[in-house]
């Protein structure tokens, strides 16, 4: 399924001011985990746990290069991150979001296709969507020891799409190895089929470009889960945020692409 090409509307350049201002959490009954979303600076212990899990997960496949640990360690390049916490308190999965982007060169996908003939097409797709808002999902991992690992993989993908709502953008992009494409498709992701895969981070992988569109129709359960997430607020510490949640705001209306 091809990703639709967009014409550029006459709107102002995108800003990076639309960040959540509190830690959010919600229980996911399918994976039997509590998902927490926060800024790295607001939850440094959870951010450290996310990084530890990401390093272990990427190292298992010899793909630490793709994680770029030293670049992301301080959290400054991460707008928000999600972690899944099992009932025993262990962090079992995570993913982070970069953006909203102001120019295409901020996207890591540009680096991944830098020396490939498809680079101009990747840049053009990002630039076409910048006026509507673009974030990029990076560093997804799921622990091998998670009690309900299959359900958790799907849940992590669903929650990653909430980045579009929390950061008030229309589009999310991600780069994914061929063996996980079917999983990400179940969350609404569409592969940019006209762009050939690249061997990133090395020749063992065929990495593809994927897009999510916030305007797609979500299922009732997914919409309710997002609403519940938006209605939570953190206490003075991560443990309180994980245990309880009341009150909250809603995000701003979505921009039109019609």
Kindly list the structural domains of the chain, giving each domain's residue range(s) and its CATH number in brackets, ordered by start: 24-242 (3.40.630.30)
Q: Specify whether the CB–CB gap between 51 and 74 falls below 8 A.
A: no
The residues near 191 (Cβ < 8 Å, ≥ 6 apart) are: 1, 3, 181, 185, 208, 209, 210
pTM of the model: 0.82
Q: What is the pLDDT of residues 180-195, one digit of tens each?
A: 899 999 999 999 999 9
Across 246-257, average pLDDT: 32
Interval 114-126: pLDDT, tens: 999 999 999 999 9
């Amino acid at each position: 399924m091809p990703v639709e090409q967009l014409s550029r509307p006459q709107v102002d350049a995108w800003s990076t001011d639309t960040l959540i201002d509190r830690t959010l959490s919600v229980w996911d009954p399918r994976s039997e985990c509590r998902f927490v979303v926060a800024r790295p600076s607001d939850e440094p212990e959870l951010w450290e746990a996310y990084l530890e899990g990401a390093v272990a997960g990427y190292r298992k496949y010899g793909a630490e290069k793709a994680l770029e640990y030293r670049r992301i360690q301080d959290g400054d390049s991460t707008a928000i991150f999600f972690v899944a916490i099992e009932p025993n308190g262990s962090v079992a999965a995570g993913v982070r979001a970069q953006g909203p982007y102001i120019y295409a060169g901020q996207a890591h996908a540009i680096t991944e296709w830098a020396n490939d003939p498809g680079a101009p097409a990747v840049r053009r797709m990002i630039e076409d969507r910048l006026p509507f808002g673009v974030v990029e999902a990076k560093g997804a991992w799921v622990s091998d020891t998670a009690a309900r690992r299959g359900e958790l993989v799907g849940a992590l993908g669903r929650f990653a799409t909430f980045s579009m709502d929390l950061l008030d953008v229309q589009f999310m992009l991600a780069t994914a190895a061929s063996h996980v494409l079917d999983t990400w498709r179940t969350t609404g992701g569409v592969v940019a089929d006209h762009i050939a895969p690249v061997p990133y981070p090395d020749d063992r992988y065929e990495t593809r470009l994927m897009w999510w569109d916030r305007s797609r129709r979500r299922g009732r359960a997914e919409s309710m889960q997002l609403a519940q997430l938006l209605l939570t607020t953190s206490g003075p510490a991560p443990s309180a945020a994980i245990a309880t949640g009341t009150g909250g705001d809603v995000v701003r209306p979505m921009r039109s692409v019609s």
